[in-house]
């Protein structure tokens, strides 16, 4: 990759979204959310760890008053596919009753984890619940679920960067890239 250095980039097959494309995508989402939630009680909820970079940029792109909270769940472990079993590692600190909740996610693929989170959060009686995902991978969907705000639709490839990881690596890449398959095939003996 011209102009890019670092060991992590050697593991990237190709860039899907550049830094500039990510900035514009987040800015567009921020404008739309700001318009849609004007005069509402907006609470952005980030699902850690993958969405932390997206959340940080998105909340700065939102131009109306909002609050933020975080939850951490685990469904992947060290693999490339969701296990389907969801474990809550950190729950929300704020009550949800009456708030307009916007769940901020890094990627929507199978939908299993997000469906579980939505059911859990809906029990808190928010005024509304919507989903904002940076990336959507609809080809992987296993449950009927659609995001209300989507940054980009991505192909059926394993993507990393901008918060997304493989085995806790690559989160700090400022791009979204496709991870070379030999990286995870050699460790897992499988492919996507």
Catalytic positions are: 109
Specify whether the CB–CB gap between 130 and 108 falls below 8 A. Answer: no
Of 63, 73, 71, the C-alpha closest to 96 is 71
Give Cα separations from 60 to 29, 30, 63, 64 (angstroms). Answer: 11, 8, 7, 10
Burial class (CB in 10 A: 0-12, 13-18, 19+), 176: buried
Q: What's phi and psi for 151, nearest 5 deg?
A: -75, -50
Q: What angle do CA 133, 7, 50 make, to 5 degrees?
A: 20
Query: Dmax over Cα atoms in the chain, in whole Å?
Result: 51
- Give whole-number Cα distances, 59 to 5, 30, 79, in Å: 29, 7, 29
Residue 107 CB neighbours (<10 A): 21
């Amino acid at each position: 990759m011209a102009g890019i250095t670092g060991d992590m980039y050697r593991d990237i097959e190709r860039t899907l979204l550049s830094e500039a494309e990510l900035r514009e995508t987040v800015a567009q989402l921020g404008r739309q959310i700001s318009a849609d939630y004007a005069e509402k009680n907006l609470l952005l909820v980030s699902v850690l760890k993958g969405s932390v970079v997206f959340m940080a940029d998105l909340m700065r792109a939102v131009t109306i008053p909002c609050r933020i909270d975080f939850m951490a769940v685990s469904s992947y472990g060290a693999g490339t596919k969701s296990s389907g079993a969801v474990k809550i590692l950190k729950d929300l600190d704020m009550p949800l009753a009456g708030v307009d909740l916007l769940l901020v996610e890094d990627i929507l693929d199978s939908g299993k984890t997000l469906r579980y989170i939505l059911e859990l959060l809906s029990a808190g009686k928010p005024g509304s619940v919507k989903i904002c995902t940076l990336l959507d991978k609809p080809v992987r969907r296993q449950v009927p679920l659609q995001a209300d705000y989507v940054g980009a639709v991505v192909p059926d490839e394993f993507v990393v960067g901008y918060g997304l990881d493989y085995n806790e690596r690559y989160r700090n890449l400022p791009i979204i890239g496709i991870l070379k398959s030999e990286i995870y095939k050699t460790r897992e003996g499988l492919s996507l």
